[in-house]
Structure 1
Amino acid sequence: MKPRGFVANPFTAVGAPWEIIRLQSSPNNRMVDLHTKSGDLPGYSSQFVLIPDWGIGFSILSAEANPTTYNVLLADLITDTLLPSTETAVREEADLLYAGTVHTPAQRRA
């Protein structure tokens, strides 16, 4: 799932078969790669998004007169909601698992 090439936009890369979009997550502006794949037929559209860093993803399937527009808007809405909340949850979990105080052997005896 690594990029095979980059395009003119520094936040977009191409994999095989993925399109890779880089977004900045809040609050620390960390870069997060979204591996996406989309497809369209007249009246139908699909969007598949994986976020490997966090082991999550989502898919959107729609059938409308103009489904691609709705899929892009919905994917943006989901991403705008999902990234900050997931970043917060991941940070809180890391704090619980890894944050603490290191004591030297001399400090432990005291």
Structure 2
Amino acid sequence: MSVPGLTIYHVKSHLQKERSTIILVHLIHIFHVDSKAEKKDPGDLLAGLEGSSTMQISEALKLQMEVQKRLHEQLEVQRQMQLRIEAQGKYLQKIIEEQQRITVAGTPRAASSEQLPDS
């Protein structure tokens, strides 16, 4: 199944788009089920009398706001994870530098101690 020019990045990108679509459909379904389960207040009933198109627009706006809220929460989680990853990278870099410093500092001592018996 070799396709010229197709890389793993193309496949990953396609899968990511598919996953995003599935998540969006799932969020729409969750919001739709939740909105049916809620009791309607009088303001919603009056809005329903104005016409179904207004109701559809209102529901679409509510859905968009809910999706935007969840995306914002996800973005915040990703930002926190990125900060943790960067901090971990800095920590590991310090450990590597310290180990290199110790190794370099220890190497001349070993060489000088090896030279002592030859004297």
Normalised TM-score (structure 1)? 0.38
Normalised TM-score (structure 2)? 0.36
For the pair shown, which has the larger CA radius of gyration, 1 or 2? Answer: 2
Compare the two structures and name the one with the higher helix fraction.
2
